[in-house]
Structure 1
């Protein structure tokens, strides 16, 4: 048995247990995930995702993969950008989140250019050189082996294809960091308890953000995975960062 450990928030857990624990978190919050995103970010997550869409450079006919796509915010927009000749794959390891995303896209009248796949980011079930663009928004920090996942994403990108990682990161201003910590560890769990009936899952989410690699570290990880011209943009003072790399 694998004796290695990894972090689950601030806890050390056996490597083989982390995926199941993360799954329990998202099974718990799936039905209220969109509402909590709006409340937690004061709606700013929509701006962060809009910037991601603009930087993705997706055009009609493209094939796009949205990993950890959850409730389908990006996939919904991508489906309109790629048009009937394109294809969008909404992938998530969590069946509850995938179900919420499928229902949302059906409610919005999305047609046959979207496919739903339950998949682990570390071993994506697609051939080499398949996608013009891959996005993962607020999902990489929950992956057990991030290097393995980034390599898997790079493998299935077409030459010239782009990977965009939108994720919580490290604020650049010490005063902002202090206020952000206060919000994350005091207000966020209380909000989770009131709205979603689950304070522990939102405490984990706050801890998982703190354990995620900072901007420069993640840039280096993407380069090690084989991506070129990797750059990042800090959003909202570095609370969130958008990394972008190209497969040459």
Structure 2
């Protein structure tokens, strides 16, 4: 469960009141928004672009379709989907954090991407869209920050069209012992310092490292998606399981 019996939840390794988590996560992303893209490249050594390209390849998206890029941040996936769906299609870049949305909007407009993209500030747990609306929903590196993940998955299922698919790209668990040790050392000893130097914010990147460890593993998330009525759920481990792409369908 994402929420504990005493109405508390996890914020990284801290236990906080459930009602306070959204604000705390918002503070993190308000702080890192301006340097988000730079830090993504530095943190992952550019590999996040490969993970996102694999997500695009697994999307099955076609011209004229509707896409929801949830927790879409600075719009990397939105930019790709905008070009694929074309002028007859529609992409919604949704994020709960207005600072991230502003950075994403400015970035995509600088790239000349307008017309078929809409920007919506939205909470994944209560999506402000009609039932059976989208052909595809993606959420990349955002689900671990959601307070009630089960509620969010049900909300995604509701707004997805029959025959549509959900793609969840998220940090996950590697079972390779040496890789796990190296990854932990990097996450807790190198990453916060990098965040301090580049974004002037070590604490936010310490939280990001902790939030990854608190996120459900591959099989648990698969079960959560199935509980939310998604069918044909499968996952693909990337970079030794440091990241996993989960895919599920609404039939």
Q: TM-score range by the shorter chain?
A: over 0.9
2:58 partner SS? helix
Among 109, 127, 139, the residue aligned to 1:124: 127
Q: Give the distance between the partners of 2:79 and 2:6, measured in 1 at CA.
A: 41
Aligned to 2:222: 219
Q: TM-score, normalised by structure 1?
A: 0.99
* Per-residue Cα deviation, 1:196-245 (whole angstroms, up to 9, x for no partner): 00000000000000000000000000000010000000000000000000
* Per-residue Cα deviation, 1:32-55 (whole angstroms, up to 9, x for no partner): 000000000000000000000000
* Contact 1:63–1:87 (8 Å) recurs in 2: yes
Q: Which runs of 5+ in 2 are unaligned?
A: none
Q: Give the distance between the partners of 2:88 and 2:10, measured in 1 at CA.
A: 42
Alignment of 1:17-96 (within 5 A): 17-96=20-99
Greater than 4 Å deviation, 4+ residue runs: none
Q: TM-score, normalised by structure 2?
A: 0.98
Q: CA RMSD in A?
A: 0.8
1:3, distance to aligned residue in structure 2 (A): 5.5
* Per-residue Cα deviation, 1:170-207 (whole angstroms, up to 9, x for no partner): 01201111110000000000000000000000000000
1:111, distance to aligned residue in structure 2 (A): 2.1
The question of 1:14 aligning with 2:21 is answered no
User: Which deviates more, 66-75 or 171-180?
Assistant: 171-180
1:171 partner SS? coil
Aligned to 2:108: 105
Alignment of 1:191-206 (within 5 A): 191-206=194-209
The question of 1:232 aligning with 2:231 is answered no
Q: Which runs of 5+ in 1 are unaligned?
A: none
1:244 partner SS? strand
